[in-house]
Amino acid sequence: MDKRGNRTTRLPEDLKDIELSDTIATTDEAKQSRLDPGKDSLAQRRFPIRLDPESFRQRTLQAKKFQGNYKRFWNIKQAGPGIVAIKDVEPLPIVLIKERETTKFIKTQLKKVSHKNVLSLLDFFHDSDKVTLVYEYEHSAVALARLSNTPNVVFSEGDIATVCREVLNGLHYIHSELKIIHGSLNCINVLLTMTAEVKIANIGDSMLSGKTLRDRQCDIKAVGDIASDLSDPPARPEGYGSVRRVPEKATYMTRQFIEKTTGATIQELLEHDFILAATPSGSWSLTPHILKAVPFGAKFGDYVGEASV
């Protein structure tokens, strides 16, 4: 039964001119041979650094977690420039974000901070050459520097003693628990909140600076400078804490306290007779001052459009 099909394909009579190969080209190899990418192919390039996949994955997840958690809203000046943001979890807490450039960062330098006389450091994040610090946000809190220059605000001896006692309590926590010094303590870095609490600001900067307790007396001396500046406020903001002075307007007991801060310990100052003039059980007596200063409080800047941080 000799039937011929309709195909026109002609097969060779023998295979003597065909060379056989031991390997079979895959589809990808066939495509590559046709496209001939050569050196321009990413697959053919050599990269100078081979990233650890697990390390890269962890860093990526950490960055996405942080960036998805905070949304910024307003620029603000409160003990220095910052950003008012919300954390994207219930109940949408408002926070204050401050960003710092750093060429060297050690994770153990930072830890979360919580004390009634220190502005709480709630979170922090490091990315490349920048550290982002997340603080509690105190709405309408006013720096002592602005407060003391507010019209109709005059600090009595009892008011000054109250501020100094609260600052000393905050310093005791910083020195004994955090094992660092603040290093930049002055009326600009101390806030009075709407609930009349006295809080030391920018503790994250202090941790990043890495200053040791060897210089703790600088912090203690700064408490005397605060007492001096509240007794007789400088005319310009940069004058706060810049020059050691004992103002004539200060009471005798205030002057004695200021002079004592050059060599006394925190505990010795807390037991000084000057501190006896402080309001017992808190700083509630400062409430009238913060209400008078509300119009002169923290200044909001540009709206930044709910950008993720």
Compute the distance between CA of residue 217 and CA of residue 200 in angstroms, rounded to an integer. Answer: 17
Q: And the tokens for 23? A: 């390997």
User: How many residues are recorded in the chain?
Assistant: 309
Compute the distance between CA of residue 143 and CA of residue 191 in angstroms, rounded to an integer. Answer: 4
pLDDT digits (tens, 9 = 90+) for 116-166: 999 999 999 888 788 999 999 998 899 999 898 888 899 999 999 999 999
Compute the distance between CA of residue 162 and CA of residue 190 in angstroms, rounded to an integer. Answer: 13
State mean pLDDT over 72-87. Answer: 91
Pick the closest to residue 137 from 99, 100, 94 (CA basis): 94
Continuous H helices in the chain: 27-35, 53-69, 144-147, 157-173, 203-209, 216-231, 252-260, 266-270, 287-293
Q: Residue 11 falls within a domain, yes or no?
A: no
Based on the structure, what is the number of domains in the chain? 2
Where in the sequence is the domain holding 79, given as residue range(s)? Answer: 65-139+297-303
Same domain for 115 and 176? no
pLDDT digits (tens, 9 = 90+) for 246-267: 777 889 999 999 999 999 999 9
Structure confidence at residue 271 as a pLDDT band (50, 70, 90) = very high
Same domain for 277 and 147? yes
Helix 216-231 × helix 252-260 angle, to 10°: 160
Q: Residue 189 falls within a domain, yes or no?
A: yes
CATH number for the domain spanning 132: value is 3.30.200.20
